[in-house]
Amino acid sequence: MYSDGMKKRAAEAALKYVEENAVVGIGTGSTVKYFIDALSQIKHRIEGAVSSSEATTQRLKAHKIPVLDLNAAGPLPLYVDGADEANRYLQLIKGGGGALTREKIIAAASDQFLCIADQDKLVDVLGMFPLPVEVIPMARSHVGRELLKRGGQPALRENFITDNGNLILDVYNLKILEPAKLEVEFNNIAGVVTVGLFALRPADVLLLGTLDGVRVLKP
């Protein structure tokens, strides 16, 4: 698929942001897989990586890249992750792979958040991609009702448990005109672990893979 080539371009362009002897925070998803594959070529130059998911950990270990604990690693210079949607302010929807909580923690603990994606992920208004919300299992129905009140159409992600042992509600029918405001509002619903809006802590740089190369976007 042509989108795979664009993802690969963005992922490989991210290598130049990796500092010598750094610990790199690494997200989850199809574009990130290409980044891990590229990172393996310079693994001798980094100390290791902090992983956002079990799937990413497995891929890092397959490449013999050391996986470190975030608590031990401390603040990170760089976090690299993909997105399901991004707007021109570099606010994102993430969590299609279900790793949104750990991704949000690592993004918060990093000096620079570098987002890598193909050009199709750039949108004018967030919300066409259903917004993932991680919820404590006992709160599923309560959170669902609260999301309905706010105009969303929540659907339980079937046969899916997060790495944290929780559920995901995917919220359809949203046109997110004020992402930061909605992030706060949804996060404040009792039982929500986190919401897949990265607006309070958006990306610092967006590398968009295109048919012609890589576009660099900054807010």
Quickly state the pLDDT bin for 32 (edges 50, 70, 90): very high
- Catalytic annotation, pick one of 12, 103, 146, 183: 103
Q: Note if 158 is an active site residue.
A: no
Model-level pTM greater than 0.85? yes
Helix 30-39 × helix 2-13 angle, to 10°: 50
Residue 144, phi then psi, degrees to nearest 5: -60, -45
* Nearest residue to 198 via CA among 124, 105, 70: 105
Q: Is the pLDDT of residue 184 over 90?
A: yes
Domains and CATH numbers, the chain: 2-124+200-217 (3.40.50.1360), 131-195 (3.30.70.260)
E-strand spans in 85-212? Answer: 85-86, 92-93, 110-118, 131-135, 153-156, 167-172, 192-195, 197-198, 205-209
What would the pLDDT profile of 33-66 be if each residue is shown by its tens digit?
Answer: 999 999 999 999 999 999 999 999 999 999 999 9
Asked if residues 70 and 50 have their Cβ atoms less than 8 Å apart, the reply is: yes
Residue % of the chain over a pLDDT of 70: 99
- For residue range 149-180, list pLDDT tens digits in order: 999 999 999 999 999 999 999 999 999 999 99
- The two beta strands, 48-51 and 67-68, are parallel
pLDDT band per the 50, 70, 90 thresholds, residue 1: low
% of residues, the chain, pLDDT over 90: 98
